[in-house]
Structure 1
């Protein structure tokens, strides 16, 4: 593997989420209220405390992102939409709308491409829904509820308790036949099948896994925030590779490119490209 870093931010601006769309790499600068492209373009949101966080390409060729600091969903054309809570995770749902979590109100929200917003309760108080992904349904981590949630597009929710207590689940990503997630407080990865069967897999101690992206072969890539590294697991949950990104790099979001390479947002101010 080779690792190439690209500086995209100044000191303390904090690249956090990362996305690839139409051959371009985008990242959110969570501490600056900016969305940036690797090409050098910067889009100031006009709200320094807006905290742009997770970013994904939408079905309309725009980039959509959560603004957890000012309770809005943003879009790369400059539009933004008010939501009733602090949004964090976001994904494209099976209905081609954008679905997002509302951390502080225990809801999952939906916004159409026209900007119509609706919300659905998850049915658990204080669960702190974090990241969200889509397969046949919506799947999301309940960071303080110690569970994985599943929601239909009509708002029906099922919660699956995790085997280990107090794991602090964060990242989640739908893959081939199962959904991967990570447990930042337990240093574990997990996988849940459509019928609710859960397996957990150990990661290096104190590695603080943060985000995950599933791969076509049934495995996944994971950012190890506490270890300043990324890790790759195979379809059986075995750790087959760990790549050091350097002390203080603080890896957060990651995304798989069409060629199988991986882009990682490093809070120190850069985006890393990991290529076979």
Structure 2
């Protein structure tokens, strides 16, 4: 089990101490929901997962999984100056705001693509890609818990809201500004692809607002946008992998 390497800086200390590297929480990859999902599909499908998991635990996970995160913490007003009204926390009263970007790295994506291009290794490549998604969502929860404890300990504020560029709450045309503000390419190897995507693909970002009112940390999994439905390779090879993640225990 690997720990997340966090590159953190805060505008709330004077003088600012720049970006510091922190050994963060463990990034657990829980395959229990995936196993149960394939068990319901029958033994012929379950055998692929049973073959894959030892490969992940003994070889691919240690070699390919590279969990890293970039976190910028600042007064809410400073975040608005950087991103304008594109970050809308709704009715939540926010005094502090954090930009959070997290990634599993690019090695999983490259290995998955290589496996799926080889005859006979399509399922291994597919399951490796799903493992990357499971790892990414596990990192989100771990990072929120870590950041929540740190901000409460240092500033006595709670997580009051979270919004996600690219989903309904926030436009996605700010990815290039996220890369620039966070210096993400230099710190965690994440770069903007145009204005609407981040690379590697197994990367997510959010804006976390802190105030005096505490909310429950999110446990839901958000669907791909846009959804390809039955045309999606994931659907054809065992069902929507986002549905698999949705049923994963928190």
Which structure would you say has the larger RCO, counting Cα contacts within 8 Å and 6 or more residues apart?
2
> Quick check: TM above 0.5?
no
Which category describes the TM-score, using the shorter chain as reference length? under 0.3
Q: Going by fraction, where is helix more abundant, 1 or 2?
A: 2
TM (normalized to structure 1)? 0.23
